[in-house]
Chains A and B, each alone.
Chain A
């Protein structure tokens, strides 16, 4: 079946602009995660959604970052007033709650000029 998809694959924007990153999880997966991976670095947890529960936003680095998950499926990560330090690969993953392991999308490479 189809895996996790993310769009766009690459995004170049100017400092101060807003960007939206999209994630389509695997159908039926109740958990959805967003991570940030800076060049050569580890994964930084940003936010997760689990079913209808309130999302855990504890990893969002500032109030410029927000995320939504509509209808328990597609998720959008929004970064307002982008800064150069926001440049990174943004990874989305989904999971079946009972199995725990996450399935990752290919990521969106964000470059803020």
Chain B
């Protein structure tokens, strides 16, 4: 069965500094990986995905993530954080070989960007 872990409950970063939100996964086959963001009092929004191809994927709002098969990781990154990036971030994994369309979400990481 697929699973995903976000080891940090919270990440604090100063505005203008680079940010990383960590995600590791476990699947039996090749994973489909996703990042979603939940802003305060707003619904969940898709940020980016890795399905196949280049390991570095770029998404909305200047975010990117790197798929690392050997480390089974898919960390979310941004070169320069903004206060408006403060939100709850979820990593998600799907194993199309065994799980069909079932998608498992991590527990979430709360990002605080301080001005």
Contacts and interface: CB of A to CB of B under 8 A. Distances in A.
A-B interaction: yes
Interface of A: 31, 33, 35, 41-45, 48, 50, 56, 58-59, 91, 93, 95, 97, 100-107
A42 B105 contact: yes
A58 B102 contact: yes
Chain B: interface secondary structure? strand
B34 interface: yes
Contacts of A103: 46
Chain A: interface secondary structure? strand
Contacts of A105: 43
Contacts, number: 58
Nearest to A53: B100
Interface residues of B, number: 22
Interface string B71-115: 000000000000000000010101000001111111110000000
Contacts of A56: 100-102
Contacts of A45: 102-105
A31 B94 CA distance: 14
A105 B78 CA distance: 26
B22 interface: no
* Residue of B6, B45, B103 with most partner-chain A CB within 10 A: B103
Contacts of B46: 101-103
A53 B102 CA distance: 13
Given A41-B107, A42-B108, A91-B44, A101 B102 contact: no
Given A50-B101, A100-B51, A42 B32 contact: no
Contact of B49 (A35, A50, A101): A101
B101 A42 contact: no
